[in-house]
Structure 1
Amino acid sequence: MTSTDHRTAEDIGHTAAGPRPVPELGGQRTVAELFHVDTVLGNGLRVLAVRKANVPMIELRLRIPFGGTDPLHAATAEVLAETILTGTERRDRVEIDTELALIGGELNAFLDPERLSFNGSALSTGLPTLLDVLADALTSASYVDGEVARESARIVERLAVSRTQPRVIARESLLKHVYGDHPATREMPQPQDVKAVTPEAVRALHADAVLPRGSVLVLVGDLDPDGAVADVERALGGWRSDRAASTLLALPEISGGDVLLVPRAGAVQSQIRLIAQALPRTDPRYAALQLANLAYGGYFSSRLVENIREDKGYTYSAHSGFEFTGATATLGVDADTANEVTAAAVLETRYELGRLALVPPDGAEIASVRQYAVGSLVISTSSQAGLAGQLSALASNGLGVEWLARHPERLAAVTAEEIAQAALDFFAPTRFTGVVVGDAASLTSRLAALGGFTVGDAAVR
């Protein structure tokens, strides 16, 4: 073969002595040691500042507990989140955007039933400005009538579009099935409630609920942790209240039971959503359960994916994973399938749950999921944004850098017996309930043949 001849992939993969051997995996990297300060300011705000100077940027994450029980809380909070950065006593929307642009920064607000969150970033030299803009919004957001009306109209339009999406319908149906009227089910407010929100109501909610005590601010980047905390104290020291931010009501525990078939007439695809109670990150058994979940459906080489995607082609994507809310955790399984294979996909999903509980992962499987768990943790924390997101999620449960740094050790120490026990305790099919959203006319008889299904009212819209 001359140097100009084209070599195929098969040619490259072979030598005169046979196929080229696959190289051995390298040693597993660990999470780098992080220089940080974790403290609580006089106003009750917890500040976690971490030095990660790979680029001259800083990532900001602020989480404010924002639970509420009033029927209009979700709608008012949604409007608040959309308008809190549209103007203050000192700056209008254009001035806010201009100041952030001058420091290469951005700042956005987000909402879920548990918290009001701010995500921001800026050049490291712009941290004082970023904090000043944030403090301005936290202490003197104006919520002028025109901005509230404009953003409310946009929210109503967005809700109308979102509620036509199958995944949104499945999510709302699942939450209502397992939690009833709990505030956690109000991830999306009703359009008529948003229309009823007034600027006065938004201002009142801000005064009552945008509070520092119990909130967590995470800063990650090219910073001196002590200096960053001092910057926060200067900028946010005036954000004060004797009251603490309002946490979401504790979720009721999920028990196994029938899966609800939620009719969606004419749908050509079905959404399968199963859920069971799990363990929070603070539980000593969490690492074992994490590895058991990876083996079941937590990554691409899992048993569930190999079965209903790779082997049988029932779905393009199948997945299982954790959701953490307050001090509780749940384990979810999801897949979207064509109607004609929905019942078969449910059967195989349940089969894999039972198989994991009774035939736990062997040595090679455990080695694979352990490598994946540690490797994905290292990758997810390799960027400033990834590390900030991880620490912000952990801090909401009282955890911090130490937990993150030691988690690879916990994953490495988990035994096969502990994983087997976690699989038996948490993956038994009887522990799960859930919903299947789809066309009842084509699904009811087939799902009834499996047993453990009831038919509900029309899908949430």
Structure 2
Amino acid sequence: MTRTAEEIGRTELGPRPLPPLGEQRPPARPAAVDTVLGTGLRVIAVQHPTVPMVEVRLSVPFAGADPLHAARAEVLAAALLTGTERRDRVAIDTELALVGGEMSASADPEQLSITANSLADGFDTLLDVLADLLTGAVYADDEVAGERGRLVERITVAGSQPRVIARKALQKHRYGDHPFTREMPEAEDVAGIEAAQVRALHADAVVPRGSVLVVVGDLAPDDVVARVDAALGGWSSDRSATVLPPLPELTPGALKLVPRPGAVQSQLRLSAQSIPRTDPGYAALQLANLAFGGFFSSRLVENIREDKGYTYHARSYSEFTPSGATLLVETDTASAVTAGALHEIRYELGRLVLSPPTESEVETVRQYAIGLLLTSTASQAGLASQLSGLAPLGLGLEWLLDHPERIKAVTADQVAEAARLFAPTRFTGVVVGDPAGFPDLELLGGVTQS
């Protein structure tokens, strides 16, 4: 006779107690090399022999003050893999496919990113294709025109999405005209980009000095560095890659109401200045954030999703740049309950300060944070992406491997101290929606349409 899970979990004396969590084992220290080549390219190579593959992440600082820089950068990233002097688009795809690999490129206000992988024994082929793209991409007129047209279509569609509108509004409210706000160029700007402009941008800005190449896989690190040096030695420049200018400190204040007539939902986005990963208090902040809104069982989610039913999704998280960090709180809600949702967000922010996480809450989020970190770095792709994100902050493998111990050492008192960064008076932000749908919002105060 088959028993149900509920029957298995109970005895005559009541529910079976759950066994205690096992002791978290520290991650193994893999062989690794972190060095800078003669060209100025920083190479981080980590041996991770879980599968016979290799993951590659190249990050080139790619900021620009010109208002059209974002449009040029997007077209460059879209057209980078369309051909070189030695290979056309089909040849690039075919060579990578023959070694079980793939490659893609993307651009944001901070950097140009190239993501690639292949079988370990195809690493030399992958490097050869990468070197060819970095030194010989041609950006043919017809290829650029095709990618430009597809970008215009995607940007036009994305620009009408509420989450994109909210993000643009928040960035403008936080940082004005700083280059960091140009995460998505305007469609009309992209439409005017010519192939010659893209070629000029590549020649000027796609340079190794200041860039970071992360390689994680089933290869010896010293061997990786030697092969990278040989393959990418021809990629050189006297210039350094262009780093994003420091962001101004956020000024706390009223939320800005951004009207969106006819909208049936509202987007709430709040932000406050925070501390970077290099700060000694970062681990405590990480746990405070998880307790507030960083995972499904957080206080914020329990309140406005489970208890009030105001939203399906709410979260809080940290956003990092080389010059600092911010806290963000976001949710989307029906217009009719916009004021209620904002009230509860403010309430939970204040409650975190005045009634900080208990010992039990801290232990719960501690186990979650350590487990999430160990899981995210268990794969080659996860570890490569983590290291690629840490490198611009001046951090590397040692910081990542030591972080679980820092999380273990955090006390409830330290979390309570970090929770003070969530004081509602430290935040600003935007509310995007139809004011006719939430006339009671003005009763809360702290929201302005100017």
Judge same fold: TM > 0.5, yes or no.
yes
Looking at structure 2, the residues matched to 342 and 446 of structure 1 have their Cα atoms a distance apart, in angstroms, of 9
* 1:355 to 2:382 alignment: no
Looking at structure 2, the residues matched to 9 and 36 of structure 1 have their Cα atoms a distance apart, in angstroms, of 45
Looking at structure 2, the residues matched to 440 and 249 of structure 1 have their Cα atoms a distance apart, in angstroms, of 36
Aligned to 2:425: 430
Looking at structure 2, the residues matched to 38 and 10 of structure 1 have their Cα atoms a distance apart, in angstroms, of 51
* 1:160 to 2:163 alignment: no
Secondary structure of the corresponding residue to residue 396 of structure 1: helix
The one-letter code matched in structure 2 to 1:330 is T
The offset of 1:152, in angstroms, is: 0.5
The offset of 1:210, in angstroms, is: 0.2
* 1:197 to 2:197 alignment: no
Deviating more after overlay: 284-293 vs 11-20 = 11-20
The offset of 1:271, in angstroms, is: 0.8
- Verify the 8 A CA contact 2:264 2:437 in the aligned structure 1: no
Looking at structure 1, the residues matched to 309 and 151 of structure 2 have their Cα atoms a distance apart, in angstroms, of 38
Deviations 1:28-84 (A, max 9, x none): 232221210100000000000000001000000000000000111011111000011
Match 2:441 to one of 436, 447, 452: 447
Looking at structure 2, the residues matched to 133 and 16 of structure 1 have their Cα atoms a distance apart, in angstroms, of 66
- Verify the 8 A CA contact 1:29 1:378 in the aligned structure 2: no
The offset of 1:396, in angstroms, is: 1.3
**Aligned-pair RMSD on alpha carbons?**
1.0
The offset of 1:225, in angstroms, is: 0.4
The offset of 1:99, in angstroms, is: 0.4
Aligned to 1:372: 368
Aligned to 2:254: 258
- Verify the 8 A CA contact 1:29 1:375 in the aligned structure 2: no
Aligned to 1:57: 53
Aligned to 1:459: none
The one-letter code matched in structure 2 to 1:276 is A
Matches within 5 A, 1:309-348: 309-348=305-344
The offset of 1:440, in angstroms, is: 1.4
Matches within 5 A, 1:37-436: 37-424=33-420, 426-436=421-431
The offset of 1:362, in angstroms, is: 1.1
Looking at structure 2, the residues matched to 31 and 112 of structure 1 have their Cα atoms a distance apart, in angstroms, of 32
Looking at structure 1, the residues matched to 238 and 278 of structure 2 have their Cα atoms a distance apart, in angstroms, of 29
Ranges in structure 2 where 5+ consecutive residues have no aligned partner: none
Secondary structure of the corresponding residue to residue 43 of structure 1: coil
Deviations 1:156-178 (A, max 9, x none): 00011101111111111100111
Secondary structure of the corresponding residue to residue 84 of structure 1: helix
The offset of 1:301, in angstroms, is: 1.2
- Verify the 8 A CA contact 1:113 1:248 in the aligned structure 2: yes
Looking at structure 1, the residues matched to 73 and 14 of structure 2 have their Cα atoms a distance apart, in angstroms, of 65
Deviations 1:403-431 (A, max 9, x none): 0011111111112221111111x110011
- Give runs of ≥4 in structure 1 deviating > 6 Å: none
The offset of 1:365, in angstroms, is: 0.7
Secondary structure of the corresponding residue to residue 296 of structure 1: helix
- Verify the 8 A CA contact 2:63 2:242 in the aligned structure 1: yes
The one-letter code matched in structure 2 to 1:455 is Q
- Verify the 8 A CA contact 2:124 2:227 in the aligned structure 1: yes
Looking at structure 2, the residues matched to 375 and 319 of structure 1 have their Cα atoms a distance apart, in angstroms, of 19
Deviations 1:97-155 (A, max 9, x none): 11000000001001100000000000000111101101111111000000011100001
The offset of 1:435, in angstroms, is: 0.7
- Verify the 8 A CA contact 1:177 1:435 in the aligned structure 2: yes
Deviations 1:262-281 (A, max 9, x none): 11111111111100111111
The one-letter code matched in structure 2 to 1:374 is I
The offset of 1:11, in angstroms, is: 2.1
- Verify the 8 A CA contact 1:288 1:411 in the aligned structure 2: yes
Looking at structure 1, the residues matched to 55 and 226 of structure 2 have their Cα atoms a distance apart, in angstroms, of 17
What is the total number of aligned residue pairs between the two structures? 450
Secondary structure of the corresponding residue to residue 99 of structure 1: helix
**TM-score normalized with structure 2 length:** 0.98
- Verify the 8 A CA contact 1:51 1:225 in the aligned structure 2: yes
The one-letter code matched in structure 2 to 1:454 is T
Looking at structure 1, the residues matched to 335 and 223 of structure 2 have their Cα atoms a distance apart, in angstroms, of 58
The one-letter code matched in structure 1 to 2:424 is P
**TM-score normalized with structure 1 length:** 0.96
Looking at structure 2, the residues matched to 9 and 210 of structure 1 have their Cα atoms a distance apart, in angstroms, of 57
